Amino acid sequence: MTAENIPRATAKRLPIYYRYLNILHDTGKQRISSTELAEAVQVDSATIRRDFSYFGALGKRGYGYDVDSLLNFFKQILNQEHLTNVALIGVGNLGHALLNFNFHKDSNVRISAAFDTNDQIINTVEDGVPVYPISELADQLHEQQIQVVILTVPSSAAQEVADAAVAGGVKGILNFTSIRISVPDKVLVQNVDLTNELQTLIYFIDNFSK
């Protein structure tokens, strides 16, 4: 089955499975059942079996899943064997937090370039990442062959900056702004609305936890 046929919800759960399988590998565990995995990652076992079924026979009835085999499989599926460089656009409070965290500590993703309009940080190095003027965005993305960007600019500038990123050849945008940006069909956008997520959490607390 091709990636285009994998449901989006399944694709979003794959990194969760991969991270936990890494933990199991580090503890020396050799096999795990879908029920055990379900308890650990808080996804019901039927969903896990359905997710895995899209990729063929990954386990054996009565045995479960071989941890190392499953880990290696997801490592290939998620392209964990190759480092992916991404760019951060907008080095404000959230941007600084992302730079400080940087993803290479926990995965195969690394922020390798940042962009901003603040003259005080342009042409400096923040948390090991060079900061370029946003006017150089398209050129630097092309030059460094960066295809994924994280957008943490003010909402009023989001569309203009996204257009420049598209001109620089990006294929994916992780959008932390509150607006929904317009991009060509060939560019994927993942929206992360922290306010919406928090409001949703509060709604469920108020209505379903009493």
- Confidence at residue 74, expressed as pLDDT on a 0 to 100 scale: 83
Write the DSSP string, 51-109.
HHHTTS--SBTTTBEEHHHHHHHHHHHTTTTS-EEEEEE--SHHHHHHHHH-GGGTSSE
Q: Is residue 94 annotated as involved in ligand binding? A: yes
Q: Where does CATH 1.10.10.10 sit in the chain?
A: 3-77
Spans of the chain, pLDDT less than 50: 1-2
- Confidence at residue 104, expressed as pLDDT on a 0 to 100 scale: 54
Q: Is residue 90 annotated as involved in ligand binding? A: yes
The closest alpha carbon to 108, from 22, 32, 34, 3, belongs to 22
Which fold does the domain 3-77 belong to in CATH?
Answer: Arc Repressor Mutant, subunit A (1.10.10)
Residues counted in the chain:
210
User: In whole angstroms, what is the distance from residue 149 CA to residue 132 CA?
Assistant: 14
Contact 170, 146 (CB under 8 A): yes
Q: Is residue 92 annotated as involved in ligand binding? A: yes
Neighbours of 89 (CB within 10 A): 27
Tokens 């080095």 -> residue: 91
Q: Where does CATH 3.40.50.720 sit in the chain?
A: 84-196
Structure tokens at 188: 């994927």
Q: Is residue 24 annotated as involved in ligand binding? A: no
Q: Is residue 128 annotated as involved in ligand binding? A: no
pLDDT digits (tens, 9 = 90+) for 8-18: 888 888 888 88
Tokens 């019901």 -> residue: 44
- Confidence at residue 181, expressed as pLDDT on a 0 to 100 scale: 96
Strand partners, 60: 64
* Cα–Cα distances in angstroms (integers) from residue 98 to residues 11, 33, 111, 124, 139, in the given order: 23, 35, 9, 17, 23
Q: Is residue 93 annotated as involved in ligand binding? A: yes
- Confidence at residue 188, expressed as pLDDT on a 0 to 100 scale: 94
- Confidence at residue 26, expressed as pLDDT on a 0 to 100 scale: 86
- Confidence at residue 2, expressed as pLDDT on a 0 to 100 scale: 44
Note the Cα 206 to chain centre separation in Å: 29
User: In whole angstroms, what is the distance from residue 39 CA to residue 34 CA?
Assistant: 9
Exposed e or buried b per residue across 191-202, where buried means at least 16 C-beta atoms within 10 angstroms of its C-beta: eeeeeeeeeeee
Class (C level, CATH) for 84-196:
alpha beta
Structure tokens at 165: 């990123």
- Confidence at residue 61, expressed as pLDDT on a 0 to 100 scale: 66
